[in-house]
């Protein structure tokens, strides 16, 4: 029996022991862990798959790019694969457990430097371990009036990790990968690559001009496994002047109103009258948000550990079947004018059938306070759905729809039918960007019940298969279903990704299996 919890595929215990000894010579005993207690957090997944399929063999904790360069040298020598994570947050998508058992978790959480924040042009450069909460604290302490664009929840989420997974927030800068600029990357052979303008000695535009010269390569490192990103630039939003931000909520009482919401909304979005990624939240998600937050605490979550929302029951019925959150930004004069246009557009479309709510009408509504925080890049602590169903199971299903009324309505109908048939609630949020709607469905289940875990896995599998048949692509998924989603994009894309992977990482040591990509 091995003295390690797991071994990399094809690596003997003798060879792995030699590798661990070399890692310890490089990093010291405290930053190379193989004991069960240290590795347990990397098995804290929420997906419907057994922990044994994702058991890591070890965890490494580098603090510099130079150490990572040396680590990949050892990994190549002994063929020990490295599963890179930024700080362990990735709930609903596999957390920080590796795609396959035996990989070494390369945990970058101790790389904590905020290298630069440029007040004049509004950008930052950070290392992988910097969280949204830490950057917000830095901005506040240094009286820098710039806004983040943060996902929900965000407090303990790595800025780099969210960008590389192509996550998004709710401000006008919501497309987070689009608003990144410049990376430093350790390649599998130990080469240190600076993308974009970073290769120019003493470059003054690394974080301001994305493209550089020749092919744009930054995309190779998003949702991929072709290198280990050690620095990233991100653009921050200049805060509007006082009176220049007006969040709103419009509540729609009937499910069948969904198509009618989207046409006027997309006009307002594309005309930039409403410039942010608006969230259209269904009743279940909205109820959970009200239950878990305290509006007197700026949308932060209160301690509700003893309370669980009964599945399928709306404990607070003062919500819409659909609840639209958006905001207008600019000078106070612009905000007043645009708000008249927004409210008038929806009143014309729906008359008195809807409720239009601003801060004046919200009167401490915790769901409104929570969304107000998100749409100004505020930090939130916890998912509002964490206590919807006991047992710790969560898998986020993330298909994209063309932002057309009929297509979004059909997606909602199909998703609800599949979930309900398998005994689960339809908890969803549509986020509207330029031309697309990101449809996030959170499948909540009890991981402690084998029958329910199996049923959740079958349900998620059916969601992917059915949506693929409709032509609705999944843009992000958890480690249990990465191969299935990669296959849905066709053999040509899979062959291209494998060809690139083999060229850049011939020994297949960098996060093999990530996004369904390997070099073998």
Map out the domains of the chain with their CATH numbers: 13-108+506-516 (3.30.43.10), 114-238 (3.30.465.10), 245-375 (3.40.462.10), 392-488 (3.40.462.10)
Q: Which DSSP state fits 47?
A: S
The residues near 225 (Cβ < 8 Å, ≥ 6 apart) are 84, 501, 505, 510, 511, 512, 513, 514, 515, 517
Q: Rounded to a whole number, what is the largest CA-CA distance in the chain?
A: 74
Query: Taking Cα atoms as reference points, which of 20, 38, 81 lies closest to residue 501?
Result: 81
Q: Which DSSP state fits 51?
A: G
Rounded to 10 deg, the angle between the 65-78 and 13-27 helix axes is 160
Please give the average per-residue pLDDT across 497-504, as a whole number: 98
Point out the least confidently predicted range of 264-278, 373-387, 504-518. Answer: 373-387
Identify the residue whose tokens are 């709306």: 314
pLDDT, position 491: 97
pLDDT, position 91: 73
Q: Is residue 90 scored above 80 in pLDDT?
A: no
The separation between the first and the last C-alpha atoms of the chain, rounded to the nearest angstrom, is 28
pLDDT, position 87: 78
Query: Taking Cα atoms as reference points, which of 101, 110, 86, 127 lies closest to residue 32?
Result: 110
Please give the average per-residue pLDDT across 328-343, as a whole number: 97
Sign of the CA dihedral running 120, 123, 124, 130 = positive
Q: Is residue 405 scored above 80 in pLDDT?
A: yes
Q: What is the band of 302 on the pLDDT scale with cuts at 50, 70, 90? A: very low
Between CA 132 and CA 129 the distance in angstroms is 10
Cα→Cα distances 507→8, 78, 97, 501, Å: 13, 10, 21, 9
Q: What is the band of 16 on the pLDDT scale with cuts at 50, 70, 90? A: very high
Q: What is the band of 298 on the pLDDT scale with cuts at 50, 70, 90? A: very low
Q: Is residue 316 scored above 60 in pLDDT?
A: no
Query: Taking Cα atoms as reference points, which of 76, 298, 277 lies closest to residue 171?
Result: 277
Q: What is the band of 51 on the pLDDT scale with cuts at 50, 70, 90? A: confident
The pair of structure tokens assigned to 476 is: 């992000």
Please give the average per-residue pLDDT across 475-482, as a whole number: 95
Point out the least confidently predicted range of 2-6, 250-254, 287-291, 352-356. Answer: 287-291
Q: What is the band of 292 on the pLDDT scale with cuts at 50, 70, 90? A: low
Report the percentage of the chain scoring pLDDT > 90.
86
Query: Taking Cα atoms as reference points, which of 186, 182, 166 lies closest to residue 227?
Result: 186
Point out the least confidently predicted range of 134-148, 253-267, 304-318. Answer: 304-318
Q: Which DSSP state fits 184?
A: E
361: left (phi over 0), alpha (psi -120 to 50) or beta: alpha
Burial of 143 (0-12, 13-18, 19+ CB in 10 A): exposed
pLDDT, position 382: 75
pLDDT, position 50: 87
pLDDT, position 295: 40
Between CA 396 and CA 455 the distance in angstroms is 15
Q: What is the band of 317 on the pLDDT scale with cuts at 50, 70, 90? A: low
Mean pLDDT, all residues of the chain: 92
Please give the average per-residue pLDDT across 160-169, as a whole number: 95
pLDDT, tens only, 115-156: 999 999 999 999 999 999 999 999 999 999 999 999 988 899
pLDDT, position 293: 55
The residues near 62 (Cβ < 8 Å, ≥ 6 apart) are 27, 31, 68, 71, 106, 108, 110, 111
Q: How many CB atoms lie within 10 A of CB 163?
A: 26
355-357 and 32-33 beta bridge pairing: unpaired
Q: Is residue 388 scored above 90 in pLDDT?
A: no
Point out the least confidently predicted range of 80-84, 86-90, 262-266. Answer: 86-90
Q: Is residue 310 scored above 70 in pLDDT?
A: no
The residues near 207 (Cβ < 8 Å, ≥ 6 apart) are 116, 118, 121, 123, 124, 125, 181, 182, 233, 235
Please give the average per-residue pLDDT across 349-369, as a whole number: 93
Burial of 205 (0-12, 13-18, 19+ CB in 10 A): middle
Contact 131, 157 (CB under 8 A): yes
Q: Is residue 107 scored above 80 in pLDDT?
A: yes
Q: Is residue 432 scored above 80 in pLDDT?
A: yes
Q: Is residue 74 scored above 60 in pLDDT?
A: yes
Contact 79, 27 (CB under 8 A): no
Q: What is the band of 290 on the pLDDT scale with cuts at 50, 70, 90? A: confident
Q: Is residue 309 scored above 70 in pLDDT?
A: no
């Amino acid at each position: 029996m091995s003295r390690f919890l797991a071994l990399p595929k094809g690596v003997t215990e003798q060879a792995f022991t030699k590798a661990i000894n070399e890692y310890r010579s490089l990093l010291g005993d405290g930053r190379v862990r193989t004991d069960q207690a240290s590795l347990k957090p990397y098995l804290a997944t929420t997906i419907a798959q057994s922990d044994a399929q994702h058991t890591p063999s070890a965890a490494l904790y580098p603090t510099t790019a130079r150490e990572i360069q040396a680590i990949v040298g050892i990994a190549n020598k002994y063929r020990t694969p490295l599963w890179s994570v930024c700080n362990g947050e990735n709930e609903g998508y596999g957390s920080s457990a590796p795609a396959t058992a035996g990989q070494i978790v390369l945990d970058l959480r101790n790389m904590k430097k905020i290298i630069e924040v440029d007040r004049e042009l509004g950008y930052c450069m950070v290392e992988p371990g910097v969280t949204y909460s830490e950057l917000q604290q830095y901005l506040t302490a240094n009286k820098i009036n710039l806004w983040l664009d943060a996902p929900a929840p965000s407090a303990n989420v790595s800025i780099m990790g969210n960008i590389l997974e192509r996550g998004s927030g709710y401000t006008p800068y919501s497309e987070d990968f689009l608003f990144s600029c410049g990376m430093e990357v350790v390649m599998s052979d130990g080469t240190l690559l600076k993308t974009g303008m970073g290769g120019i000695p003493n470059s003054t535009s690394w974080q301001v001009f994305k493209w550089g010269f020749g092919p744009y390569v930054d995309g190779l490192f998003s949702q991929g496994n072709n290198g280990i990103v050690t620095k990233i630039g991100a653009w921050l939003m200049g805060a509007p002047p006082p009176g220049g931000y007006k969040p709103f909520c419009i509540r729609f009482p009937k499910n069948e109103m969904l198509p009618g919401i989207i046409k006027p909304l997309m006009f307002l979005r594309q005309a930039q009258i409403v410039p942010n990624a608006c969230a259209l939240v269904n009743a279940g998600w909205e109820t959970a948000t009200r239950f878990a937050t305290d509006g007197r605490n700026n949308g932060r979550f209160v301690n509700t550990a003893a309370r669980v929302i009964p599945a399928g029951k709306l404990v607070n019925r003062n919500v819409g079947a659909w609840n639209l959150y958006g905001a207008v930004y600019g000078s106070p004069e612009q905000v007043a004018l645009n708000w008249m246009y927004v409210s008038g557009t929806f009143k014309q479309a729906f008359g008195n059938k809807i409720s239009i709510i601003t801060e004046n009408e919200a009167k401490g509504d915790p769901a409104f306070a929570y969304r107000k925080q998100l749409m100004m890049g505020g930090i939130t602590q916890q998912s509002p759905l964490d206590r919807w169903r006991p047992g710790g199971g969560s898998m986020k299903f993330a298909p994209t729809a063309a932002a057309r009324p009929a297509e979004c309505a059909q997606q909602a109908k199909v998703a609800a039918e599949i979930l309900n048939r398998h005994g689960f609630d339809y908890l969803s949020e549509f986020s509207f960007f330029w031309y697309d709607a990101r449809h996030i469905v959170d499948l909540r289940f009890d991981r402690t019940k084998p029958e329910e875990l199996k049923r959740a896995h079958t349900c998620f599998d059916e969601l992917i298969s059915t949506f693929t048949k409709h032509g609705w692509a999944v843009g992000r998924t958890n480690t249990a279903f990465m191969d299935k989603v990669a296959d849905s994009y066709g053999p040509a894309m899979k062959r291209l990704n494998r060809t690139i992977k083999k060229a850049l990482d011939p020994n297949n040591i960098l996060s093999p299996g990530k996004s369904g990509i390997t070099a073998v």
